[in-house]
Structures are given as structure tokens and as C-alpha cells.
Chains A and B, each alone.
Chain A
Amino acid sequence: MFGAFKPTNALSGGLLWKIPWRLSKFQKQRQRRRLRAVDTVVSVIDQALAKKGITTKAVERWKDEMPIEQEMLPKDKYTIFDRKEKKYRKGIHKLPKWTRLSQRLNPPGY
């Protein structure tokens, strides 16, 4: 009942993961850094290509469609749209592999 073997939910129920519903401030900071890292990669490629006078579809499309980190709303940085969720939003950390994916845009209006 007490001590190291007290029957907590995780011990008695087997598989129970506790994922907080929102990001901590440190997770949010790291998320912003990752977003900025991707922005720098794109800008470096863009500048290198511009020096040679080349344009590439992938880079142009990214620049047209995707906001940079500073332009994004906090809502879009830390949460994503989910139609099954109350108020249609859930934390971005619920997205599998979320630290290695670009998920910047959400449906307009949500």
C-alpha cells in the first residue's frame, strides 16, 4: 500500500501513459528553436541559389506558403487542428515524430 510498491494507476493498470495536454515552457522554447533552425536552412539554400541566379520549385513554394517562425501565431506553433478534439485543437506534441516534422499551417478558421 505504501512505499515503492503502492498501487498507482500506472503500476496496476499496465499500460498507462501520461502525456500532459500542453507543452511546458521549455518544450515551447525548443519548438521555437527548431522552427527557426528550419527557417535558417531554407534561407541559406535560398541565398546560395540566388547567388547563382537559380530558382527551385521546392524552395519557392515553401517561401510562398509557409510562414516563418516570427510570423506564426502561438496557436499554430504549439497546437494543431484535430477534428475529434474539443474546440478542434490539441497540443502539437501529440503528433507522432513532432520534433522532426514541419507542421505550420492549420485549416483557416480553426
Chain B
Amino acid sequence: MRSGIGLPKRTQGVLKALGLRKRMKTVFYPVTPEVAGQIMKVKELVAVREVEKALSKEELKEERRPDAGYYLESAAPR
């Protein structure tokens, strides 16, 4: 979520190793001690969530889509 600019090279390296090259990037990893340790290194910069399976690009985009603010009613038959 947050950028590693200006932080120690090691912290930036951990971000890079996790595949977080840009802000707001989402990556998926299995629950392992190694990944947990990496996330702990950059815990101030990321948001973490546990999901059943890795979401596809389309699903992620759908998740980000804001509420349309309206809904379509079906036209009544005349």
C-alpha cells in the first residue's frame, strides 16, 4: 500500500522480493513462515488478508469497482 522510498535498502529489497514493485500492487502467497517473516519486515507498508485461493486479475478489478450508485429496474411489460 505504501511506498518504500527513502527507507533502508533492506526494506526496499523485501518489498521487491515480495513482488511489490509499485504502490497498491496485490500479490498472493501461500501461508509459510518465510513469507510471514518477509511481511513482518514491511508490516508498516502493506495490508494483509487471508483468502482461500488467489484471485484473478478480473476478480481483483471487480473488487475495486465502486458502487454504481444506481440500479436498473426491468421495464414492466405493456
Residues in chain A near residue B41, CB distance under 8 A: 58
From A34, A45, A54, A58, B44 is in contact (CB under 8 Å) with A34
The closest CB in chain B to the CB of A37 belongs to B47
Is the Cβ of A38 less than 8 Å from the Cβ of B2?
A: no
Is the Cβ of B37 less than 8 Å from the Cβ of A56?
A: yes
Number of chain A residues close to chain B: CB under 8 A: 23
Interface size class of B (residues with CB under 8 A): 20 to 34
CB contact under 8 A between A44 and B33, given known A97-B7, A102-B43? no
Is the Cβ of B46 less than 8 Å from the Cβ of A41?
A: yes
Can you name 16 extra interface pairs (CB under 8 A) apart from A44-B50, A97-B6?
Answer: A38-B44, A40-B48, A41-B39, A41-B48, A42-B40, A42-B43, A45-B39, A45-B40, A47-B50, A49-B33, A49-B36, A59-B36, A59-B40, A100-B4, A100-B7, A100-B44
Cross-chain pairs A/B with CB under 8 angstroms, 30 sampled: A34-B44, A37-B47, A40-B47, A41-B39, A41-B43, A41-B47, A41-B48, A42-B40, A42-B43, A44-B49, A45-B36, A45-B39, A45-B48, A48-B31, A48-B50, A49-B31, A51-B31, A52-B31, A54-B32, A54-B36, A56-B33, A56-B36, A56-B40, A57-B37, A58-B36, A58-B40, A59-B36, A59-B40, A100-B4, A100-B7
- Residues of A with Cβ closer than 8 Å to B? 34, 37-38, 40-42, 44-45, 47-49, 51-52, 54, 56-59, 62, 97, 100-102
